[in-house]
Amino acid sequence: MKNSQKIPATIVTGFLGSGKTTLLRHILQNANGRRIAVIVNEFGELGIDGDILRACGIGCEDESSEAGEQGGKLYELANGCLCCTVQEEFYPVMRELIERRGEIDHILIETSGLALPKPLVQAFNWPEIKNACTVDAVITVVDVPATAAGQFAANPAAVDAQRKQDPNLDHESPLHELFEDQLISADLV
C-alpha cells in the first residue's frame, strides 16, 4: 500500500448482544490475507470481546511473530463509550495506526453498544486522520428477534445496566433514541 492511499475504516455498531463481535470474528476469519487492524471499545475492566477475538487464532495476539514481523494488534479502548472519549481514546490509536499505514489494509472499529456513531464518523474529518483514512461504511448490527418483538435489544435491562456502569457517558438519550441514531447512521443494517 502506498502512503498516499487512504486506509478504509468500517465502523460496526449495535446494542449489547446484537452480534457485533460475531460479525468481526467472521470478517477476520475470512480476511484472505488482508491486514486488518481492529479497535474494540470495551466497558469496564473485563475485555470480553478482545478475549474472544484473540482466542479465534486470527493474528490478534499481542506478541510479534517469530520472523521478527510485527504481529496483528488488537486495540482495546476500555475507558467508556468511544463517542464520548473520542479525543482521549480514539485519536491516539488512530495516530499509531496512521504511522503503520503501510502495514494495514483495513481498519475495523467495534463500538460499545451505547455509542453514537456520528461523533466517531466526524472524527475522521480531523486533518491528520482525514489525510490518511476514510470511513467506507457504518454497519449497525440489529438483534432481529428482539426488534420483531418491538424491542431494541433482547435484554433492555442489561443495556441500561451497561449505560449506568460508564462514568464517561455524556449522552443521556433514551435507549430507543440511541437505537434510532445507530440505524440512521448506518450504511448497512
Q: In whole angstroms, give the CA distance from residue 148 to residue 54.
A: 33
- pTM summary value: 0.76
The partner residues of 135 in beta bridges, in order of sequence, read 9
Residue 78 has pLDDT above 60, yes or no: no
Domains (range + CATH), the chain: 7-185 (3.40.50)
pLDDT in tens, 11-62: 999 887 888 888 988 888 898 989 888 888 765 444 444 454 444 444 444 4
* 3 state SS of 81: coil
C-alpha cell of 90?
480514539
